[in-house]
Amino acid sequence: MSPHRLFEVVKLVSADLSHRNMDDCVKDVINSLPDNLLCQILSNLSTKEAALTSLLSKRWRYLFALVPNLDFDDLSSLHPEVMMLDPTSFISFVDRVLKLGGRDQVNKFSLKCGVGVERDNVFPWISNVLRRGVSDLSLHLSPQVDYLLPSNVFESKTLVRLKIATEHSLGIKLRNVDLPKLKTLCLDSVVFEGDEIESEFAELISCCPLLEELILRNLAWDSWDYCSVSSKTIKRLSLCFDEYDETSNSVSFDTPNVVYFEYSDTIADKYPKVNFDSVVEAHIAIRMTVDQRANAIYRSDGDEETEKVSNATDLLMGICNVKTLHLSDNTLETLSFCCEAIPMFNNLTYLSIESNLEVGWESFPDLLKNCPNLEVLVFQVSKSDP
């Protein structure tokens, strides 16, 4: 019997404990398996499903706690209606599983919890799995009271993948960073705190010598006048800031080995350095702030040639080697007002553009003219179109 088939059998048993009259030979096969193989099978289940198998027999009672992949979600745990009303049951469940696991290796730890699960609960859980050599750590936290994540999250010598997300009120302070094995870093909506955020962020990147994928979404930082990403190891880079109507003074990218680039933000005042020599695919969604757009439209109504409110020319020059390019509808309008000259895209064969009749298309003819090898042109109708 294949491991996949065994996994399906165990999942069936955990989903419906009334099926106790399983064929004896199948029972014998499963019971003859060593604990480590059973744990491997259970690792394909969510922690709540794996916990249900503890009711099968004495042998299975604590086996689920030895699974190297742990996934806790207080919105979809054993009794979601209870978890939402009383977080203490979720807290007790996580405490029990981690205690039963002892010092056994943890490969993956995923934690999603909301209001009612606070720092005094979360910090010991994080420290527990870090001590046990976790390589994949995913945290989605929405505390009721603001707090900073413990610094040991950024001092792990075993982490390969780190994801931190929040709905609100979760901060990080970058100091003494040491992530020698980290390959994927995702920060979503967290608050950067510190007096020298620019240099601390640069140190974060430099202290991840193996980093290949960097995802930054809707980060909140105070007094950060410029953003700079510099790395020769990053291959996939995503910077998406969709929830703010503010602009940066300066944004730079020195990432010569990036092959996939996603950028969604208000247009910066300037792009001093944009190095994407290896880029193959890019998704660009730049927009003007409300003030920039009003200023641009006001200036365009005059008869005199006026200075651009910002300039995206250097950004486009930096990605001109791209083969596949996706542009949002706002990007077209932004290029109309904020681009002195559209560069040649000699390698571009696939161009996808979101279509919105309410947004200006003045830049489109020049863009199309500068794509001499274009093979595919796609218009994606946005929801606001009829």
Q: Report domain extents, the chain.
A: 99-381
Lowest mean pLDDT among 10-24, 58-72, 135-149, 264-278: 10-24
Nearest Cα neighbor of 64 from 50, 45, 77, 78 is 50
Contact 182, 161 (CB under 8 A): yes
What is the average per-residue pLDDT within 207-222?
Answer: 89
- pLDDT value at residue 64: 63
Q: Say yes or no to pLDDT of 310 above 80.
A: no
Q: Say yes or no to pLDDT of 194 above 80.
A: no
Answer with the residue of higher pLDDT: 310 or 251.
Answer: 251
* Tens-place pLDDT, residues 161-178: 999 998 876 888 887 899
* Tens-place pLDDT, residues 255-285: 999 999 999 998 888 899 999 999 999 999 9
- Within 13 Å of residue 198, how many CA atoms lie on the same side as its CB? 11
Answer with the residue of higher pLDDT: 87 or 272.
Answer: 272
Q: Virtual CA dihedral for 274, 186, 114, 144, nearest 10 degrees?
A: -50
* Tens-place pLDDT, residues 314-328: 999 999 999 999 999
Q: How far apart are CA 372 and CA 346, in angstroms?
A: 6
Q: Say yes or no to pLDDT of 55 above 70.
A: no
- pLDDT value at residue 60: 62
Token output for 75: 């919105």
Question: Which DSSP category does 340 fall into?
Answer: S
Q: What share of the chain is helix, strand, coil (3-state, %, to 5)?
A: 30, 25, 45
φ, ψ at 336 (rounded to 5°): -65, -35
Q: Say yes or no to pLDDT of 4 above 60.
A: no
Average pLDDT of the chain to the nearest whole number: 81
CA 368 to centroid of chain Cα atoms = 32
φ, ψ at 185 (rounded to 5°): -130, 125
- pLDDT value at residue 305: 52
Contact 309, 288 (CB under 8 A): yes
- pLDDT value at residue 148: 86
What is the average per-residue pLDDT within 90-102?
Answer: 87
- pLDDT value at residue 22: 47
Beta strands in the chain (DSSP E): 69-73, 108-113, 136-141, 147-148, 161-166, 170-172, 184-188, 191-192, 213-217, 220-221, 226-230, 236-240, 250-254, 260-266, 274-275, 281-287, 324-327, 350-355, 376-381
- pLDDT value at residue 375: 98
> One-letter amino acid identity for 260?
Y
Confidence of residue 219 (pLDDT cuts 50, 70, 90): confident
> One-letter amino acid identity for 285?
A
Residue position matching structure tokens 């995923």: 110
- pLDDT value at residue 84: 52
Confidence of residue 243 (pLDDT cuts 50, 70, 90): low
